[in-house]
Structure 1
Amino acid sequence: MEKWVLRNKKADFESIMQKHSISECLARLIVNRGLLQEGDIDLYLNPDYSRICTPYGMKDITKACEILEDKINRSLPIRIVGDYDVDGISSTYILYKALTLCGARVDYEIPDRIKDGYGINEQIIDAAFEAGIDTILTCDNGIAALAQVQKAKQLGMTVIITDHHDIPYIMEEEKKRYLLPEADAVVNPKQEECEYPFKQLCGAAVAYKLMEVLFKSNGIDEAELIPLREIVAIATVCDVMELTGENRILVKKGLELLRKTENLGLRALMEMNGIALENLTSYHLGYVIGPCLNAGGRLDTAKKGLRLLLAESREDARKQAEELKNLNDLRKQMTEEGLFGAVSMIEGSGLKEDKVLVVYLQECHESLAGIIAGRLREKYNKPAIVLTKAHEMVKGSGRSIEKYNMHEELTRVAEHLTKFGGHPMAAGMSLTIEAIEPFRSSLNKNTILTAEDLIPKVVIDIVLPLGLITEEMIEELKVLEPFGKGNEKPLFADRSLSVLKLSVIGKNKNVIKLLVRNQYGKEMEAMYFGDTSGFLEGLYDNYGKTEVERAFTHRENKIKLSLTYYPTINEYNGNRSIQIIIQNYLYEKAE
């Protein structure tokens, strides 16, 4: 069941239209995104790198830069310690490329997802010490590595942390006391004392900021930063950062750079996946390129993704891209199998009644836990945690809903966990097998989620009758891109649409094509790419076999639907026509 609600934000739309030379539709969509001040609207409509915050406002960034300069000047060895996801790979690439350009003696280490787990660990520190490494530079991790940093310092190493994750804390007399590692410099905009105004940067963006300061200090031309900005855009989308403020600039301008990228690995990966460079969008970053870069870290080694980005010949780039695509195809298959097992377990037990889903899939590959948790969250609209067997321990990954801060909720039941960390929307954890049931029970007993919180809300931007859609409007909507978290694709709606024609198309019969007519007589083609069997099942349940068969044979019938949609241009055999892509639907009883 869904609850459809209409955004109905008020503003002086006439004034916004005149000041920014935009249509009423666009003005309403911008206001719906919470932008009311002229400066905020202007920044949204005209994103540019020149409008990004100065990096010097970030706590310890100048200090970290001075340390790195000293190490470079004295030719002391620096080891970057990254992470195995896209943000970690991207951060490592940015630091490695930039430090190499600055003449540093630098190498990198990326933890193995299964052997090492998330972030820097003591084995990585021991290995660095034995290799004679002077300085450890973390990226996309390290903010929670209190004991590990302490050990590195005891061994006489310099440690610089660059990270973007939430600062760990303990509760003392109902107040949070934040715990920071005793590193030589900690660069993370989420620190309490950090004055950097935009707190939602990904790890790669924080690493980029540090390198921006280092380049300026070394007199390196700003043009050398440009290839690094492409990678920041990929990481920002793939780490599901809010595409607002500075992140919107990084991704929008980054996509422009990526459409003409000279990175051989990225070009090969796009070609391998049939992506035309000129048509590249944030969707391709999040759902095609990102999963391929991630596949190495999930099923083999994350260094495969990094090697792709570092490829220096077309032949090597193609080889790396092919390996990653094959790994991602295997990952997709394994994910479907794991999801089937999780759903079967939930549906066949009392777990379905829980407000926070905790599923133990013993045989599931631990690297897939987060993906499966995300799919469960989508299916049930509940926070979901998938646990898997890992050596003598149990490891898990969780994905949350807007009303549930997963990191805070895990903090409340920390006695059941040996280790955890993450964001409000996603987290990772380790625990013993005996702790699974107490952990699940505590999460559900302590939850403040209500039944209302678990009803998925479909938020409609504008009720827009089909007859008001024009090609000019569809073109203007591109100004709103890139779409993603915090800047979702606009959602329009029209009600009481008669179905004139119904067909199931596609190689796998997985697309529904409709011809619909609204109450004002406007006819338009509509496509549905979701759960086709569920859509058809609902039609049969609500209208009966006779009416559905009449729609399939293009005859008059009693089927009426209310739809939410996004409008597009369909180009076929040189012809252009407007069509709508159905996002949600409601069955209506015909009068």
Structure 2
Amino acid sequence: MQKWILKNPKFDFKKMSKELGISELLCRIIVNRGIKDLDNARKYIKADLQGLNDPRLMKDMVLGVSIVQEKIKLNKKIRIIGDYDVDGVVSTYILYKALARCGANVDYAIPHRILDGYGINNSLVENALNDGIDTIITCDNGIAAREQIQFAKESGMTVIVTDHHDVPDIIPEADAIIDMKQADCRYPFKLLCGAGVAFKFTQVLYEEMCIPREEEAEFYEFVAIATVCDVVDLTEENRILVRKGLNTIADTKNIGLNALLQKTGISGKSIGVYHLGFIIGPCINASGRLDWAMKGLKLLLIDNQQEAEALAAELYELNNERKSMTVKGVEDTIETIENSDLKGDRVLVVYKPEIHESIAGIIAGKVREKYNVPTFILTRGENCVKGSGRSIEEYNMFEELLKCKELFTKFGGHPMAAGFSLDADKVDILRERVNSITTLTEDDLIPKIYIDAHIPLSAINIRTAEELSYLEPYGKGNTKPLFAEKNISVRKATVFGNERKVLKLRLQNGNSFVDCVYFGNIDEFDTYVSERFGSEELQNIYAGRNSIIKLDMIFNIDINEYNGYRNVQIVLQYYR
């Protein structure tokens, strides 16, 4: 069951259309994205590098760069400490390459997910001390590492924090803290990922060190990968950086990345957000999940073709292993829920000790998608139980965990995702507590599908599809527009594809016809149609005979390119 909601903002679309020289339909979608000012709408459509903000507006940016300049001048040893996910690996890569280009005496360290945990820790600080490191630069972490940074400072080291996470009440006493989410930071865009902040640092450093501006272009593709994989909103600067990165990645000069493109079979293809988020990123991430993220970083830094191919193959296989583990974990978790009283809970807390802790968050996300309820997956850690959660819009996961904070030895997160550690005897207490305090209603748990516009089939043509490309790239905060139409007649159905998992429909509305593809569950579609119209009518559409089947549909509008021909088609998402 879903609730279909048509967005219907009050706005003068005719005037905006005339001013911008685009269709009223496109104007409606832009306004649905919260962009009503004409200047911002122009920037949104253009989405070029001129729309990036001045990095010097970021608090402590100039200070941090000046400290690094002085350390380079004095040949002091600098260590970058990143994190083990894609954003952390890419942030480390960008800062390391940039500092090395500027002549710095620099190296790097990335914590081990299982042995070290997230971000900088005392062990990493001690290692730096033993190695004679003068300055630590964190990336994609550090804003909450008050004790660890205090230890580094008391040990005589300089510390610069570059991060993008939410700022705690008490911040570390570092020499410079670069995080645009600080209350007194004037930087206007607050949603950069860690690699985005590292890139901004690089822009200022290159300018101060008189490095040609065009050299920063080598980082566009990497910022794009990290931005998509860290699932930050693809709005404003993020959208610009991802669009630029997508334009450059196919011609990458990076030997390791190119080897990964070859290994995954996407070299030479038109690369989009999907490829970054579901093919390239997960391979880099797999090393941090099942091995050590240094392998992902090594791939990006490698300069030997043969070694790059071998390492790309290793990461590819690690990701395949991760995918197999995830599928089994999801299946086992769903079986546990279906065969227990967990199914009645409005907040799922599922303890599966055998699941690898590195994929608990992925599994939580898959289970959340199936049941549309906030989901925590708990696994057995070294000395405790570890949990990872994924939420729905109506449930602020971090705030709800805050109400149970006495149960945890450690916790943190955001409204839509969180993680924690607790003792095994607290698992049942946690489940009872989060369900007893939740204010979620039945209505909150009904999935809401927001429709950008009602559009008849007669208005769907190649020109409409081409104009929609102005809105790309799509992602969180800038989702692919959804359209709807009622009482669409289904004239023909065909199943095709190597694994026969694609349903192609010929649709009619009035005198208009259009092709439609559906990548969802075909068996469910057939069952639904049979129950409402009869099995004979289902057989009719597969035989291409007249039928009485009519459906309401929500869909995307796409262009199908095949053998040199370009045709408009719709991609079915929901039906009733």
One of 522, 526, 544 as aligned partner of 2:534: 544
Separation in structure 1 between the aligned mates of residue 431 and residue 133 of structure 2, nearest angstrom: 42
2:319 aligns with 328
Counterparts of 2:295 and 2:524 in 1: how far apart (Å)? 39
Give the aligned partner of residue 525 of structure 2.
Answer: 535
> How is 1:127-276 mapped onto 2 (pairs within 5 angstroms)?
127-168=127-168, 178-276=169-267
Q: Which letter does structure 2 place at the counterpart of 1:554?
A: G
Partner of 2:84: 84
Secondary structure of the structure 2 residue equivalent to 1:418: strand
Counterparts in 2 of 1:58-97, with a 5 A limit? 58-97=58-97
> What is the distance in 1 between the residues matched to 2:69 and 2:273?
35
User: In the aligned structure 2, how far is the partner of 1:65 from the partner of 1:569?
Assistant: 46
* Displacement of 1:557: 2.5
Q: Could you tell me how far apart the structure 1 residues matched to 2:229 and 2:88 are?
A: 11
* SS in structure 1 at match of 2:399: helix
Contact 1:258 1:277 in 2 (8 A): no
Confirm or deny: 8 A CA contact 1:398 1:426 kept in the other structure: yes
SS of the equivalent of 1:355 reads coil
The residue number in structure 2 matching 1:464 is: 455
Please state how far the C-alpha of 1:548 moved relative to its aligned partner.
1.7
Residues 450-529 of structure 1 aligned to structure 2 (within 5 Å): 450-518=441-509, 520-529=510-519
Question: What amino acid is aligned across from residue 24 of structure 1 in structure 2?
Answer: E
* Residue 5 (structure 2) pairs with residue 14 (structure 1): no
Question: By how many angstroms is 1:276 displaced?
Answer: 4.5
Structure 1, residues 201-244: CA drift from partner, whole Å, max 9, x if none? 10111111122222122111111211112211111111111111
In the TM superposition, residue 195 of structure 1 has moved relative to its aligned partner by: 1.6
Q: 1:570 aligns with which of 546, 560, 564?
A: 560
**TM-score, length-normalised on structure 1?**
0.94
Shift of 1:317: 2.4
Kindly provide the amino acid, as one letter, of the partner of residue 531 in structure 1.
N
- Counterpart-to-counterpart distance in 1, 2:201 and 2:565: 50
Aligned residue in 2 for 1:387: 378
Per-residue deviation, residues 479-504 of structure 1 (Å, max 9, x unmatched): 11000011100111121122222232
Structure-2 separation of matches of 1:575 and 1:248: 29
Residues 336-351 of structure 1: pairs in structure 2 closer than 5 A: 336-351=327-342
CA distance in 1, matches of 2:331, 2:524: 17
Instruction: Give the drift of 1:77.
Output: 1.1
Deviation sequence 1:30-62 (CA, Å, 0-9, x none): 111111101110110112222211111111112
Letter of the structure 1 residue corresponding to residue 161 of structure 2: I
TM-aligned CA distance change 1:324 to 1:241, over 3 Å: same
Q: How many residue pairs were aligned?
A: 576
Q: Residue 560 of structure 1 is aligned with which of 550, 560, 570?
A: 550
SS across alignment from 1:201: coil
In the alignment, structure 1 residue 400 sits paired with structure 2 residue 391: yes
Q: Which moved more, 1:544-553 or 1:492-501?
A: 544-553
Deviation (angstroms), 1:278: 5.5
Distance (whole Å) between structure 1 residues aligned to residue 559 and residue 188 of structure 2: 39
Question: Which whole-Å CA distance do the structure 1 matches of 2:248 and 2:258 have between them?
Answer: 12
Aligned positions of 1:292-441 closer than 5 A: 292-441=283-432
Q: Is the partner of 1:59 in helix, strand or coil?
A: coil
- Shift of residue 193 of structure 1? 1.6
Whole-Å separation in 1 of the counterparts to 2:468 and 2:307: 39
Alpha-carbon distance in 1 for matches of 2:144, 2:403: 17
2:573 to 558, 583, 591: 583
Does the 8 Å CA contact 2:258/2:267 hold for their aligned counterparts? no
Post-superposition Cα deviations, 1:334-382, rounded to whole Å, max 9, x if no partner, equal 1000000111111112222222222111111111111111111111112
Structure-2 separation of matches of 1:263 and 1:148: 34
> What SS does the aligned partner of 2:355 have?
coil
Cα distance in 2 between the residues matched to 1:77 and 1:449: 53
Taking the aligned partners of 2:527 and 2:124, their CA distance within structure 1 comes to 54
Deviation at residue 277 of structure 1 after TM alignment: 4.5
Contact 1:165 1:422 in 2 (8 A): no
Q: Sequence identity of aligned pairs in percent? A: 51
- CA–CA separation in structure 1 for the residues paired with 2:180 and 2:563: 51
Tell me whether 1:44 sits opposite 2:34 in the alignment: no
The DSSP-based 3-state class of the residue aligned with 1:279 is coil
Q: Deviations over 1:518-556 (max 9, x none)?
A: 2x1322221110122222222233233222222222222
Q: Structure 2 CA distance, aligned partners of 1:408 and 1:224? A: 43
Greater alpha carbon shift after TM alignment, 33-42 vs 564-573? 564-573
Residue 418 of structure 2: SS of its match in structure 1? strand
**TM-score relative to the length of structure 2:** 0.97
CA distance, structure 2, for counterparts of residue 466 and residue 320 of structure 1: 49
1:495 alignment partner, SS class: strand
For residues 74 and 575 of structure 1, the distance between their equivalents in structure 2, rounded to whole angstroms, comes to 61
SS at the partner of 1:10?
Answer: coil
Greater CA drift, 544-553 or 39-48: 544-553
Mind listing any 5+ residue stretches in structure 2 that lack a counterpart?
Answer: none
Question: Which piece of structure 1 moves more, 89-98 or 257-266?
Answer: 257-266
Give the Cα separation in 2 of the matches to 1:482 and 1:574: 24
